[in-house]
Structure 1
């Protein structure tokens, strides 16, 4: 819905004038039709927050640059109870506000680069691939550190395609956001059973945990987590059935090595 439509809908809720309206000076011509006009900034804070809620992050930022009053609305933490990012690069923008009102956070990166570069083990990457990863490798981890310090009331966290996040990143969120109820990790290749151990030790408020397509999650890790947190709805689509990463010095069987090579090709 466009902002103009929202303002129009809001105007329809205002009581219409049935009698004559006293219009001083130059306002008389605008009031001759019986319509009362008002400036956007004359709306109270609650109405402005409602209007801002219909805009995306870029739209909110653009509107906030028009005057000080709208900038104050943009910076109101209540406006930012939900944040969604479609790529880690969006975390660099200054078009959002982190605060205690944040309840739901999702960072989802559905990109071929994730499969072709980020998901490859470090010891298999070429220097060119390592250079690509270096430009965004710490983005999500650094952002989650800010979330830990500024968003203690977070209830839901979704990380999809964030190939560079580690077990410690998720454990830090569990330590600082003690009200977290939903944790969904998808295609995060560095997540291992240590993350599930953190869920068992720190997830007092968790009600649902998903670790889908995380190839370094094992069946033993899932079973251990279920024992520690029987009340948590735990699911792991394909994770325990995928071939885990194996360090070169471990000398994996030839059959598994060929399967791994076919997956990467």
Structure 2
């Protein structure tokens, strides 16, 4: 269980889960370094925080800004107890429709950016022998679907790295939590959603995904305020999980995917086991 009066460093704090986590941390009595590419979007959080919020510009693809934000957090608050890698955006398009430059840009933010921020914070967490790293993934970090190949590839990569990270930092008292939300009423699906150019033939497989994305903003069933509170409950737990699914849809779809994997593994087990050297 973590101490109270924690210090948080949160990326992508201007909207969505990032903003709600700032508010939840403040409600818990903690202090927050809230970051965003445009820090003026965070001015109201400074007012709400009443001295417990600082802000910094942070584009997670800019190594100099990463180093500066981490250093400012240490100067202002003396430590970093909880790092939240939240910065990112959605993407929709069939794999053939993806522009590779767009895919690389998405990976730079949602995977390499998260890795870079984590690496910058870890020396301080190791030195203090404690902390928590919260990786905002998605149910799309465990399963994918037509039209979400780019987005899910970034989340798959983040989850794979985070499993190794969790084992690697455990001896230093540092925890890792992979958060896997379903559809929550954030701005996902709105202006933060990148849309690849359309190849008409893919309407048969990705058309419904594109239509759902266009209609989802403001209709999602998940409550991001409740999600933020759930995340705080987990990091306060004496026995937290590595992964936390959030939302009925996430629980149901991840469970169904696990069952599909189990069924395929069992069905082809004999052939799979036959490939070792005699």
Which has the higher Rg, Structure 1 or Structure 2?
1
Ranked by relative contact order (alpha carbons within 8 Å, sequence separation 6 or more), the top structure is 2
Interval of TM-score (by shorter of Structure 1 and Structure 2): 0.3 to 0.5
TM-score (norm 1): 0.34
TM-score (norm 2): 0.33
